[in-house]
Structure 1
Amino acid sequence: MIKRYTLERMGNVWSEVNKFQKWLDVEIAICRAWNRLGKIPDDAMREIEEKTYMDESVVERIHQLDRIYNHDVLAFVTAIAEQVGENGRYIHLGVTSSDVIDTALGLLMREAIDILVQDIDALLPVLMENAFKYKKTVMMGRTHGVHAEPMVFGLKFALWYEEMKRNKERLLRAREVVSVGAISGAVGTYSNIPPEVEKYALEELGLKVEPVSNQVVQRDRHAEFMTAMAITASSLEKIAVEIRHLQRTEVLEAQEPFKKGQRGSSAMPHKKNPITCERITGLARVIRANAIPAMEDIALWHERDISHSSVERVIMPDSAIALDYILHLTKKVLEGLVVYPEHMRRNMDLSKGLYFSSKVLVALVEKGLSRDEAYDIVQRNAMKAWDTEGLMFKDALLQDPEVTNRLTPSEIEKIFDVNAFLKNVPYIYERVFGKY
């Protein structure tokens, strides 16, 4: 992922120093397991532990060797063995490349997920705060982009809050699924290494054993991690798209923050564009697209090929870094969101009270009309109001004898109370937050 979208903490997880450090952690854990079984002498083990390290200079040495070997794991093993000297021969004993790479990748994915979960934990209170801040801010609900019935703005945040809780659960499930390793040799049969080495090494690393590995940890696990990130990104896009729609000039009910000194257009000084929400939308597309190759990585030739390897070097860091970034962006947007309740009320009036049509329909049916008869009466008056300049829906009804013969003016007035649409909002809040 390019530096523009990389936050330091997640960037450090996917840095080359951290990647090779995780490889080294795995190699040291394997050596300790061998030492426990008596294969590596105590003095050799102490030397391995004391002399091995990872920093930028070691990374450069690995790259130098890789240009010769064209094999990064062998380059890594050689660079680490050089640090130790003669006892470096015990490093990578009996294992194959995937034993190190896949086990270390489990550690990296777990580390990345922990950051993403913390990001969601930081976003959830902002969603809850806005849900309560706007719990009585009446606005028009829309379906198909068209006025439907009134709601409160806070319900949007309550809905997003519940969805982000589910995304957190998905990521935590993915954490459990990917927190595995395999140290089982060339085709997973432990031909040159006893299962005890795997058991002891993975216990030290805090990973579970892959029950069956044909050299590699199975990629359905990684695909679950990638799809959990893709779904989370899609939820953030949902929030961003809603704000983008609400910020349109013709609507202008909410607007992402526009800081002092910010400029919206190179040509039009008046512009305040929803560029942050558009960036969230764009990066969500990248993350979602990366889930497809992750699923295609599940099918490898026979016991293993490396068609997945080049893919994962790109999609995993890029997706985790991008998701970390847009989680932070979403929090920033919602913390500084500008809301225009007066515009919400103005926009409600644009439909001339037609959103009360469902309640008028029910009231006429309760007076004895068939649903079809009532529907025709309501629709006729709705269309009349819509097509007549200055005529509100309620006034059209009051002028229709078929309506006034069945509903008194006071009954009609009672129907046109917007609070009737909102009477169960507290129930929804109680269900989501346990309070109202």
Structure 2
Amino acid sequence: GRSHGIHAEPMSFGLKFALWWDEMRRHKVRLAQTREAVGVGKISGPVGTYASVPPEVEETVCSELGLEPAPVSNQIIQRDRHAQYVQTLALIAASLDKFATEIRALQRTEVREVEEPFGTPGFVTTGSSAMPHKRNPEICERICGLARLVRGHTITALDNVPLWHERDISHSSAERMILPDSSLAVDYILERFTEVVKGMRVYPERMMVNLELTRGLPFSPRVMLALVESGMQRTDAYKKVQGLAMRTWDEGLDFRQLLRNDSEVTDAIGQEHLESLFDYTHFLRYVGHTYKRLGFNVPAKAS
């Protein structure tokens, strides 16, 4: 795991995907709500008074079209409904942007824990025309770019809400652009990201290499808490562990070895307890609980 781009505590790669899955599940609910919001019609006359056509006609026509009559309208269906649709699409696009950005960051040469598909049918086979060695995350980059386009359309959709009196047509020309563009863009990036996930290359060995880069520093919270449990004041425990951690950063030393050599630490928690703190499985012991909460079937050993 990383926060602020810096190694944090270990986590499972599956937990990252569970987070994404849950986010998309919320979007599915939002889409259903948005479908209900935009699934209305009106035939209520020029200003909504049914001066020329009775409400029964509106009800009959809407029923035939699978729409609900708008409870009240003027010359048009109110554009807050359309704005909700575009905003929902923008939220979906923003999530896909987030997911794709994560893959791009994890594909960097210095990290290389995952890669989007490369060289297989339907995917790019050339990373750079000048540098034959390149395997660039071009599909994810494309997803990020199109997500920006969709987010930009939300401003126009909101600007279409305030119209003059019972209607003007300042919204019309803009909607002819933003509604199909947003819909097509989100459909496209959803399809492409699905393909990325299905064909993604995952390198667990590289993940382990990266875990070891900081020479035991991800275990610093466990050491600090163990010192607190032994009776040390939390501020003192924090300063003690932080001081050794900074030496690990600055001098390239091994964090666990520094702890072993520190009598204040070993006197407080003992060598055996200290060694037991450096266990990656500790951080994953509740991952199965999260999966179950999401409704996934998991083996007993994963819980």
> TM-score, normalized by length of structure 2?
0.96
Which residue does 1:6 correspond to in 2?
none
Which residue does 1:143 correspond to in 2?
3
Counterpart Cα distance in 2 of 1:385 and 1:285: 40
Match of 1:229 among 85, 89, 98: 89
* Percent identity (aligned): 54
Alignment of 1:32-431 (within 5 A): 141-260=1-120, 262-389=125-252, 391-431=253-293
CA drift of 1:419 comes to 0.9
> Structure 1 stretches of 5 or more lacking a match?
1-140
Counterpart Cα distance in 2 of 1:387 and 1:203: 72
Counterpart Cα distance in 2 of 1:368 and 1:161: 42
Which residue does 1:15 correspond to in 2?
none
**SS of equivalent residue, structure 1 residue 372:** helix
Counterpart Cα distance in 2 of 1:423 and 1:363: 18
Residue identity opposite 2:16 in structure 1: K
Compare the two structures and name the one with the higher helix fraction: 1
Which residue does 2:301 correspond to in 1?
none
**SS of equivalent residue, structure 1 residue 150:** coil
CA drift of 1:388 comes to 2.3
| 1:73-94 CA-partner distances (Å, limit 9, x unpaired) | xxxxxxxxxxxxxxxxxxxxxx
CA drift of 1:183 comes to 0.4
- The count of residues paired between Structure 1 and Structure 2 equals 295
Counterpart Cα distance in 2 of 1:327 and 1:407: 51
CA drift of 1:349 comes to 0.8
> Structure 2 stretches of 5 or more lacking a match?
299-303
| 1:247-294 CA-partner distances (Å, limit 9, x unpaired) | 000100000000247111111011000000000000001111111111
Residue identity opposite 2:154 in structure 1: A
CA drift of 1:435 comes to 2.2
Residue identity opposite 1:411 in structure 2: H
CA drift of 1:363 comes to 0.4
